[in-house]
Every structure is written in structure tokens, then in C-alpha cells.
A and B are shown apart, each in its own frame.
Chain A
């Protein structure tokens, strides 16, 4: 037990290419402390609320709430800004991933040709 503790402290303070502060046990400790802090802050909330009235409904800046299937953001639209801004990259990549086998073998022949030129000729 004591030697486990000794090796633990040694990995914390070693100088060259050991884990030091990135030791996972330290991180587990930090996460547990953070969760404890979250739990204590949650305990400061009020307990005297009434269910079913306007106090527990979702607030959507005054907009009406539709049915649940429409309220949930579907997977394709989550990162719309990112995919829209990089549309030119996605056009190139979608043309590459066509889905028929002949193109896959064509890429293989191209890469084999490049390898031949670099490793064989030079």
C-alpha cells in the first residue's frame, strides 16, 4: 500500500517524460470535487414550487410550444453553421465518395503509381 502511494507521488513530481499533472487519478479527484460543488449549489434552490402551473413550463421567449417531435433539433441541423460555411470543402469530398467500386480501385492505382514514382525512382 505504501509503495503504491510512493509510486503515485513519484509520477506526480518526476521531471522527464512521465505523466505528472496529467495523472488520471488527480483528474478523477478534481471531477468528484467539481460534482460536489455542483450538488451543493443545487441545494440552494427553492423547494416550494407548484407542479403543473406556469412555474414548471419551458420558457421559449414567448413563442408557442409545438409537439415534441418538432421541438427537438434533428441531427442533421445541429451544426448547420459549420457545414454551411465549409460548403466548398464538402462539395469536393462528396464528389470523391461516389460509392461505386471502380472509383475505389482507381484511387488504389493512383496511390500505387505515386508510391512507385517516389520510392522507386528517387
Chain B
């Protein structure tokens, strides 16, 4: 009897399976934990592996075929109103496929790293439950096609993340950091809900594609737009609302910091989705038409929405980069320094996308795409590519910081030194992370940062100058960390320090291998993975057409 696997059936149901399997696993973990810790660890790794398998299957299909998959919840035949299904639905196009690949890599690495890192603490049943719940929230936020569903998954992610940040309850600082994260997340999410309610009251629809095809830019829509981008920018860590990031990243366990990077980037993805797809039709709306009459020549020009919005994004992004880099040079705590570097990297992504928004020419009426010149398209590609690179680089640095804390129980840079003799592999991984974050050639940070430098230089040279300067300062501050933690003479207090266990080294090696692979062959990654994602952004009508039945 031959077993023929029906790949089409599995692919049809995979958007729901990616969210359902970790949810089931999260609530079975305390039951299986009664048997023993090793069985529970194996179960959690199995759940993470199965979810990653479905993620890679789904994204492989979407990125090679260029089609959009929709999954309508609720079984049976949905009600149809003007050919749109009225249910909660998940819609996965090129940009969503790109984001869930990042999420799957981060969840897998976090689970493998936590096996030995958290071994000596109690209450690990709740830890793994919350970790799987946080990954449910992340995947749901990255795949959903419904605005209220976005709010629900955003709240799931923040509640689980806040409880995980405060996991080390014996230290007062971690609990206070968890409370601060919860307050900030709740206020941001409540204002997002307010904006969703305004949009619902006008158009009687919660579905992103239905809203995108029917938004006219009235006054209430302007208020909703402002609330949405302010709330989502606060969750994404854009200055001056970034100050929760060093507290939350710096006090959490290392494997939770790497998942928090994923959650922050999911909020940045939601910001881009709102700007490009929801308000895509009105992005070139003319706000004011100015006519001046100077000395006989009459000058008239229009102030468009995308010009104002792009300049606003660029201003905030430049402030973010500068604040992140300058504050990081003074820190003495290892993880807090890496958290400020993460703040600066978020600024790079927003700089590239903001620069691309300013160059949008108009909307092509036949194909429904935005007209972007070549440098704007390269800026868009650089910004999206940088999301992947930044998650990997900052993740690797957080894992190295966790490894140093595991071996020496010290986090202050003033007290560490000379660890390269005892921890050889960790030093090599730190080298790879250092070159990747600073944007040096054989690593992946160089490929995306080169695209950002080249494209922003063609738009305005000052942006490229600021970006390159702050990249050099990033290199300087990580050389400082390298010197004070790893190089230097043998300090007698750390004589007995051993290398970290092999599971943690394996988790770091996975990310290092992906970094080196993307760094050596960036063309393959840009053609196959990044270009479908950017096409999904500026051909926004495909998203609307994808849910027609």
C-alpha cells in the first residue's frame, strides 16, 4: 500500500496549524511535566520542530509560487457579502511568509537554548507554557488579516512576554521591568483598539482587505491613522518612546530577550501593513495645494501625505539611531548595552522605509501598484532585508551575553575580563556577531546596510552620512565590550570558568551558520525571499484581491 501525502491539503490548513499546534502544546506542557523534566523538555522541542516544519512548508510554497493563501476560520461555507467572506481570516502573502520564517528560527533557537540555561530554576513548567504562548501570539500577529484579531494577538504576546520578563522573581529589578513593559503595552494596545473602533464605525468591516478597498481619507480616518501609527511605533521602540526597551531586554533571561526581538519586529511589520496596505490607496492624497506668487513667477506645489509621513518617519528614525548609539557608549551592563544597540537597529529599518515612502510617485490605476523609482525600491528592499539580519545579529549577541552570565554570574563590564582563554567558542561567536552588527563585509549585516546606504544617499546625502557614522560608533562600542569581557590578562577570580554546555553552543551555532550563509551569498536570499516581500508591500491591490472567493 503506497502512502501518498496530499501536500495540497496540508498546505491549505497550515496557517491554522501554525497557530494551533503551539497552543495545544502550551496547555499540555504542565500535564506532561508531571512525568518528569526530561520528557517535558523533549515535548517542547518536538512542538517547536513541528511548528517550524509547517512554517517552512508554507513559506516555501508562497515564496516560489507568488500566490496568496487564505484560511477562513469557522468551518463550513462562510457567508458571502460582495464576494468577501465574513469571518476571521488569516491571509498569508509574501511579506507574511518572510516574517514567519524569522519567527520560526527565533522560537526554535530560544527553545534549544533554554534547555540548559534555565535548568537550575524551579517553576519551569510555567516557563515553557508561557514561551509557547508567546510564540502563538507572535505567529498570529504575523499572519492575521483582521484588525481586531491583530489586537487580540498583540495582547496575548504582551501578557506572556511581561510574565516571562519578570520570571526571576527573586530579583526586584526584573519584576519592575516586567511591570513597566506591561503598562506601556497596555496603553499602546488600548489606543490601537480605539482606532479600530473608529474604523469599524465608519465602514462596518474589520477585515483588512475590505477596509483597504473602502477607506476614503476623511477626518475620522485621519484620527484613526494617527492613533494607529503612534501606538504601533511605541510598541516597536521608536524614540522617544523607546525607553522601555533597555529595561525589558536588559533584565529578562537571555532566551526571552531573543523572543522579544521577534515580538518587537512583529509590531514594526504591523506598522508597515497599516501604512502600505490599509491606507495604500490614499498614500498619495494631496493634503494642501499651495500657490505662491514671488516676483512675477508663480510657484505651485502640492503637499502630499506620503511626503509628510516620510519626513516624519525619517526624523524619528534619525533621532532613534543617534539616541541608541550615544546612550550605548556609556553603559556598563552587558545586556543593557546590547538593548540600546537594538534600539539603534530599529531606527535603521524605519529610516529605509521612510525614505522609500517619500519617493512614491503615484498609484498606477490599472495594476493597482504604487509607482516607485529605482532608489526607493532599493531602500524598501534594504529595509525589509534588514529586519531578518537584525533579528539574527542581535539575537546572537544576546545569547553570548547569556552564556557569559551562565558561566560567571556577572553582568557588569567593570568586573569581567580575560574570558577568551576559557571560553573559546563563545569568543568566536561574539566575533561573528560583532562583525555582523557593525556591517562588515563577509557577514549579513553588510549586505542590507549597503543597500540602505546606497539608496538613502541617492535620496538625501545627510541620511547616509548619519547612518554610516552611527554604524562606525556601533563597531566602536562592541570593540569596547570585546576588550573588557574577552581580551586581557587572566584574572584569578575567573580561573575555574568552564565553557558553556553543548546545547547552548549548538543554538548559537545555528544562528552563526545562517549569518555566514546569508553573508556569503546575499544574492540568493534577496532574489528568493526579500523581493516577493517588497512586491507584496508596494503592489497592495494583490492583498485585496487575495481574499475574493
B226 is contacted by which of A19, A110, A116 (Cβ under 8 Å)? A116
Having A31-B442, A90-B326, A97-B246, one finds 15 other A-B pairs with CB under 8 Å, namely A24-B521, A68-B489, A69-B491, A72-B488, A74-B414, A75-B332, A75-B414, A75-B481, A76-B332, A79-B476, A107-B240, A107-B241, A112-B227, A119-B225, A119-B308
> In the complex, A55→B188 CA distance in Å?
65
Look across to chain A and name the residue whose beta carbon is closest to the beta carbon of B188.
A108
Is B303 an interface residue when CB atoms closer than 8 A count as contact? yes
- Interface size class of chain B, counting residues whose CB lies under 8 Å from the partner chain: 35 or more
Q: What residues of chain B lie closer than 8 Å to A76, measured between beta carbons?
A: 332, 413-414
Q: What residues of chain B lie closer than 8 Å to A93, measured between beta carbons?
A: 323, 326-327
Q: What residues of chain B lie closer than 8 Å to A99, measured between beta carbons?
A: 243, 247
Q: Which residues of A contact B (CB under 8 A)?
A: 7, 11, 17, 19, 22, 24-25, 27-28, 31, 68-69, 71-76, 78-79, 82-83, 86, 89-90, 93, 96-97, 99, 101, 103-105, 107-108, 110-112, 115-116, 118-120, 122
Asked if residues B418 and A22 are in contact (CB atoms below 8 Å), the reply is: no
> In the complex, A72→B230 CA distance in Å?
46
Is B14 an interface residue when CB atoms closer than 8 A count as contact? no
Asked if residues A79 and B183 are in contact (CB atoms below 8 Å), the reply is: no
Q: Give the 10 A-B residue pairs with the shortest CB-CB distance, closest first.
A: A75-B413, A75-B484, A27-B441, A74-B414, A112-B230, A72-B417, A72-B488, A115-B226, A68-B489, A78-B480
A-B contact pairs, 20 of them (CB 8 A): A11-B523, A19-B522, A22-B441, A24-B441, A24-B442, A24-B446, A24-B522, A69-B493, A74-B413, A74-B414, A75-B412, A75-B484, A86-B326, A111-B230, A111-B240, A112-B227, A116-B223, A119-B309, A119-B312, A120-B222
Asked if residues A78 and B241 are in contact (CB atoms below 8 Å), the reply is: no
Question: A68-B489, A93-B327, A111-B230 are known contacts. Are A122 and B243 too (CB-CB below 8 A)?
Answer: no
> In the complex, A53→B328 CA distance in Å?
43
Q: What residues of chain A lie closer than 8 Å to B417, measured between beta carbons?
A: 69, 72, 74
Question: A76-B332, A120-B223 are known contacts. Are A107 and B489 too (CB-CB below 8 A)?
Answer: no
B180 is contacted by which of A28, A31, A101 (Cβ under 8 Å)? A101
Look across to chain A and name the residue whose beta carbon is closest to the beta carbon of B177.
A99
Q: What residues of chain B lie closer than 8 Å to A75, measured between beta carbons?
A: 332, 412-414, 416, 480-481, 483-485
A19 is contacted by which of B179, B489, B523 (Cβ under 8 Å)? B523
Look across to chain B and name the residue whose beta carbon is closest to the beta carbon of A7.
B523
Q: What residues of chain A lie closer than 8 Å to B441, measured between beta carbons?
A: 22, 24, 27
B490 is contacted by which of A68, A105, A112, A119 (Cβ under 8 Å)? A68
Is B288 an interface residue when CB atoms closer than 8 A count as contact? yes
Is B10 an interface residue when CB atoms closer than 8 A count as contact? no
Is B229 an interface residue when CB atoms closer than 8 A count as contact? yes
Q: What residues of chain A lie closer than 8 Å to B488, measured between beta carbons?
A: 72-73
> In the complex, A93→B328 CA distance in Å?
11
Asked if residues A22 and B450 are in contact (CB atoms below 8 Å), the reply is: yes
Q: Which of B493-536 contact A (CB under 8 A)?
A: 493, 519-523
Asked if residues A115 and B414 are in contact (CB atoms below 8 Å), the reply is: no
Asked if residues A78 and B484 are in contact (CB atoms below 8 Å), the reply is: yes
Taking the nearest CB of chain B, how far is it from the CB of A116, in angstroms? 5
Is B85 an interface residue when CB atoms closer than 8 A count as contact? no
Question: A22-B441, A115-B230 are known contacts. Are A68 and B491 too (CB-CB below 8 A)?
Answer: yes
Asked if residues A101 and B183 are in contact (CB atoms below 8 Å), the reply is: yes
Residue-wise interface mask of B (37-78) relative to A, using a CB-CB cutoff of 8 A (1 in contact, 0 not) = 000000000000000000000000000000000000000000
Q: What residues of chain B lie closer than 8 Å to A97, measured between beta carbons?
A: 243, 246, 327
Asked if residues A119 and B418 are in contact (CB atoms below 8 Å), the reply is: no
Is B287 an interface residue when CB atoms closer than 8 A count as contact? yes
Q: What residues of chain A lie closer than 8 Å to B191, measured between beta carbons?
A: 112
Is B330 an interface residue when CB atoms closer than 8 A count as contact? yes
Q: What residues of chain B lie closer than 8 Å to A25, measured between beta carbons?
A: 520
Look across to chain A and name the residue whose beta carbon is closest to the beta carbon of B519.
A24
Q: What residues of chain A lie closer than 8 Å to B476, measured between beta carbons?
A: 79
A105 is contacted by which of B184, B312, B418 (Cβ under 8 Å)? B184
Q: Which of B445-461 contact A (CB under 8 A)?
A: 446-447, 450, 454
Q: What residues of chain A lie closer than 8 Å to B415, measured between beta carbons?
A: 74
Look across to chain B and name the residue whose beta carbon is closest to the beta carbon of A67.
B492
